[in-house]
Structure 1
Amino acid sequence: MIRRRDFISRLGASSALASPLRSRLVARLSFTDTVANQEQESGTPAKLNPTPIAVHPKNPKYFLFRGKPLALVAATEHYGSVVNRRFNFDRYLAEAADKKQTLTRLFLLFRELQSARNPYSPLKPESPDYVAPWPRTGPEQAMDGEPVYDLDQWNGEYFGRLHRFLSRASDLGIVVELTVFSNTYADHIWALNPLRSKNNRQGIGNVDWPEYNSLRDKRLVERQEAYARKIVQEASAYDNVYYEICNEPGGGLPNHATPDEVDAWQDRIAHVLRDELRKLRRKHLVVGQNAFSYASNFSQNFDPSFSGNLLDAVNVHPLPNLHLAGRTYQLGNFMSKELQLIEFRDFFLATQPKPKPCISDEDNAASLYRDDLGWTIHRKRAWMAVMTGAHYDYIDFSIQVGMEAGTEESRRKIRLWMKHLSEFIHSFDFIHARPAPGWIEVKPPHVVEAVLAKTGEEYVAYLADGREIADPTAIEPLHGTLAFSLPAGRFRVCLYSPTGGLYSPSVPVEGGKRVAFDLAPFQDDIVLRVTCEKERQVVG
């Protein structure tokens, strides 16, 4: 039993809902086990459930994995588990499973360099520690001073690491996004790529970096296709993977590949992936996003991503100038500590009519900041994404070589908070729920809300302080009246703490009218859960 005062102290505020029920037990939850089916032998492909992760047949905004509904929730390492020889991915995956993370993102080729706004990470290994799909054979030197690659051979060390990683993730029930290609961003990063002409024995890839993700160099494209087919051949036996065509594809720099050219290249790579999957009689998902434009200011139109057959699910990197259904959204600048919670919520709500899952795939609003402010921003955005029917992943830069489980502080803060979110959403029947904007009729000032409703049965409302950190009043707690309407019936209302992972005692209420409560002061965020009496087996 958790005493009420213990809950209140962890919640950080007194609960007006709890006060009439001092003697009641804290509501209990029977959480759905999303880290299921761990019977496969470690080191072998999953065999008991041969059907890969798929779009859920009853709700196309979510996934079906091993017979259970799945929402993707992750604070992932920076994608270098396989390409960084020094990274202990067994330790990373074990901690991720403990925190109920349902996704990890894995880059299969790209690596980059640390910069002032892009901190050191597993995706930035020292050159001797970088493991590529092709072996370094020399005798010439590549641009990083190490031996050049031989593109006519495959690297056994690389594919051994890949299989061990996928097998271990499968054992733990973690889904892996396999990112086949990436934007290469700048010449000094292109200089690290095995497919640049000066880095391989075959002289493949004699192009400027913006042409890497285009069809302009036929020989380069042929090697890209061979590599993509090899990845499918090696990974398609696993049921816990899906394929991302390209991370952050973009075009439009003067005299270089346009966004349309980049998308034509993506079409080709998607065809290659699906053709190889067809040959192997596998039905894995292919996901991604249409190319953004560098022209003038960064902008990205997501209407093409949600239409057509190129993508089974859409990845979104929350940034400024995202266009969807006739509106432009400002989701915050890179590493800016900008919360932009209303814009963030409204963008993902706007994706709801589109019959594809939408993943906030790499949120870097504040990931540079490994402190309470940065982590709180990402907690709020994670809850907001999930409570609008989307999925969420952000880079946890506390995870490094030698610290593959994060730091002690990150484990008891952001990583534990993400566990609470994963447990919470998987305790709720989100497959039969829909976002319900407008359900909250009265709310305290500065509160930004998102609601998922299984109408007449259960409602969950995330209530967050939308003030930016630059607002001098942002340190003040929120409080005031909260009101919503319920259909006829008997309901129970309780609060949940996103940081403490605890429920308040529940209060009985009669439906068929507007219900109003005075929320006692709370800091940052809180969750309201309203359950019909007949559904009480879900909430205790």
Structure 2
Amino acid sequence: MQAGGMEAGSGYGPIGISTVNPHYLHYKGSPILLITSAEHYGALINLDFDYVAYFDMLQRYEMNYTRIYPGAFYEVKGMFIEDNTLAPLPGRLVVPWVRSSEPGCADGGNKFDLSAWDERYFARLHDFLRQAEARGIVVEICLFNGQYEQSWPNHALFAANNIQGVGDCDLKEVQTLEHADLVAAHKAYVRKLVEEVNAFDNVILELCDEPTIGGTPAELTVKWIDELLDVIVETERELPKRHLVGQQLMKDVDYTDDPRNTMLVTQYISDPMYGQIGGVEALDDKYGSNKPIELNETGFYPIWYFDDRLGASRAEAWEFIVGGGAAFNQLNGLYTIHDPAGDTPENRQVLGSLRNLKRFMYGFDFERMSRDPDFIRGGIPEGARVRSISERGRQYALYLHHSTFNVGKDPVYRVQHGEHSAVLQLDVPAGTYRAEWVDPASGTVVASELYEHEGSGGLLAVASPVYKVDIALSVKRIEEER
């Protein structure tokens, strides 16, 4: 059965792949685009984080997606950003394993007992998923991440931090099959998590982000990934529901064609530095796989961005989704334990531009549209980047922005402000069309015009108003409006 498909007695079943268009997702009987700007994946394991306030903020801005790391990776204070939600304060970490009575864990608490599960954790996990589901939010559960030098010695699965002594290895060997005791702990953890979340329809499972980031050789981590993907598949085979499963794509760890990998996970809009396959790269090179493509992590907002960071983050989201992506997450450091809603003027603008994107896309029958760069035959301004989708003869969407990629530094855009305009030459059949130009920052329709196009091999010229950074275009064929 297709992952996420209908099952007898289970209503609509888990979020799954559209039967109309395999590049998109389907949830509760309707096509869905997952769009969000989410906290740094610590909302579950950080006891100081009020995830209800966080979910309420996402819902207010019509966001429908978040991600969590459920315990096999977390960070320590000082990594990446101040008030990192993935770095709980001492005594405020909860993970699947119980604490023993033996002191000596690196975080100041007692060591972990890997033979027993912490029921407090699973109660919090279940409530987390229920609260998200009640607000229409899908949760991507990323089971592992490649380890960092700062984080691995503080982890429950590091030998000095558990009473079993499991994990007596360098961080380069964590995501490998080199240590049987650690592999056994990984498999038990995966089985337990998969079992505990199986009842929920608002769940996507991802195996491992950045598996080689700590220096793990690709040929070793691929063997480990293979075994753990099998654990997910075999565990769900004995359970009522089947969930979507993803494994992040890297240039030397590429699971595009693996049938166990039901959606394509990318990070960053593009990644020329770290060996990861970026979102727009996947749209260009992997779209023919006929699987949904998600961009589940951007640069770390706001600290990795420069100048007009609102414009740069907006460009990433609009370019990817209007280019044919199925799910987008802007990694956002504005959510903290002190302000879990991220209720600041800046974050309201971040979320607002994503809400505008969602409303723009839901103005189309997007499930019937596909990546289509070819209907734009000319008129793209010099230096502009453009992405587009269409259902030929019926509906067309495109997004233009003026940005340069921050090559050699963090993988983000730098926008180029100016007095920009375009006269696009569109290859569309004869008919009557309504063209609307939309300002992505505000969601406002800034120009609208009705065109009678005779076709006969000619192109439709559509002129934009002047714009500063970016602009979106909706072109829809109409039969009755005159």
- Normalised by the length of structure 2, the TM-score is 0.89
Residues 185-204 of structure 1 mapped to structure 2, 5 A cutoff: 185-186=148-149, 188-204=150-166
Distance in 1 (CA, whole Å) between partners of 2:219 and 2:179 is 16
Distance in 2 (CA, whole Å) between partners of 1:282 and 1:210 is 34
CA gap of 1:317–1:162, structure 2 versus 1, over 3 A, is same
Conserved? CA contact 1:491–1:530, under 8 Å? yes
CA offsets 1:119-172 (integer angstroms, 9 cap, x no match): 532111113111111122232211222111111211121111101110011111
Task: Supply the AA of the counterpart residue of 1:89.
Answer: Y
Residues 19-168 of structure 1 mapped to structure 2, 5 A cutoff: 49=11, 51-109=13-71, 110-115=73-78, 117-168=80-131
Residues 247-258 of structure 1 mapped to structure 2, 5 A cutoff: 247-250=209-212, 253=215, 257-258=216-217
- Larger RCO (CA within 8 A; separation ≥ 6): 1
Per the alignment, in what secondary structure is the counterpart of residue 386 of structure 2? strand
Bigger Cα displacement from structure 2, 242-251 vs 107-116: 107-116
Per the alignment, in what secondary structure is the counterpart of residue 445 of structure 2? coil
Of 467, 474, 481, which aligns to 1:529?
474
CA gap of 1:316–1:469, structure 2 versus 1, over 3 A, is closer
> Which structure 1 segments of 5+ residues have no match?
1-46, 293-299, 332-343
1:320 matches 2:271: yes
CA gap of 1:315–1:153, structure 2 versus 1, over 3 A, is same
Task: Supply the AA of the counterpart residue of 2:358.
Answer: S
Aligned residue for 1:246?
208
1:405 matches 2:364: no
Distance in 1 (CA, whole Å) between partners of 2:26 and 2:227 is 27
Aligned residue for 2:436?
494
Distance in 1 (CA, whole Å) between partners of 2:265 and 2:238 is 26
Aligned residue for 1:389?
324
Offset, 1:115? 4.3
Of 304, 308, 312, which aligns to 2:258?
308
- Normalised by the length of structure 1, the TM-score is 0.80
Of 454, 461, 466, which aligns to 1:516?
461
Task: Supply the AA of the counterpart residue of 2:221.
Answer: V
Conserved? CA contact 2:402–2:415, under 8 Å? no
Aligned residue for 1:361?
296
Aligned residue for 2:221?
262
1:374 matches 2:319: no
Distance in 1 (CA, whole Å) between partners of 2:363 and 2:21 is 17
Offset, 1:330? 8.9
CA offsets 1:326-351 (integer angstroms, 9 cap, x no match): xx9996xxxxxxxxxxxx64542222
Aligned residue for 1:218?
180
Distance in 2 (CA, whole Å) between partners of 1:508 and 1:411 is 36
CA gap of 1:59–1:306, structure 2 versus 1, over 3 A, is same
Distance in 1 (CA, whole Å) between partners of 2:56 and 2:479 is 37
Offset, 1:270? 1.1
Per the alignment, in what secondary structure is the counterpart of residue 314 of structure 1? strand
Distance in 2 (CA, whole Å) between partners of 1:83 and 1:496 is 40
CA gap of 1:268–1:535, structure 2 versus 1, over 3 A, is farther
Distance in 2 (CA, whole Å) between partners of 1:474 and 1:74 is 24
Conserved? CA contact 2:393–2:429, under 8 Å? yes
Per the alignment, in what secondary structure is the counterpart of residue 255 of structure 2? helix
CA gap of 1:365–1:197, structure 2 versus 1, over 3 A, is closer
Aligned residue for 2:191?
229
1:428 matches 2:372: no
Conserved? CA contact 1:483–1:517, under 8 Å? yes
> Which structure 2 segments of 5+ residues have no match?
1-8, 408-412
1:482 matches 2:424: yes
Conserved? CA contact 2:233–2:260, under 8 Å? no
Offset, 1:189? 0.8
1:448 matches 2:385: yes
Per the alignment, in what secondary structure is the counterpart of residue 100 of structure 2? strand
Of 397, 401, 419, which aligns to 1:464?
401
CA gap of 1:239–1:401, structure 2 versus 1, over 3 A, is same
Distance in 1 (CA, whole Å) between partners of 2:164 and 2:405 is 52
Q: Sequence identity of aligned pairs in percent?
A: 26
Per the alignment, in what secondary structure is the counterpart of residue 413 of structure 1? helix
Offset, 1:478? 0.7
Aligned residue for 2:4?
none
Aligned residue for 2:171?
209
CA offsets 1:396-453 (integer angstroms, 9 cap, x no match): 1111112111132134311111111122222212221112213222123322111111
Task: Supply the AA of the counterpart residue of 2:387.
Answer: A
Per the alignment, in what secondary structure is the counterpart of residue 154 of structure 2? coil
Conserved? CA contact 1:77–1:122, under 8 Å? yes
Bigger Cα displacement from structure 2, 266-275 vs 426-435: 426-435
Aligned residue for 2:3?
none
Distance in 2 (CA, whole Å) between partners of 1:124 and 1:281 is 34
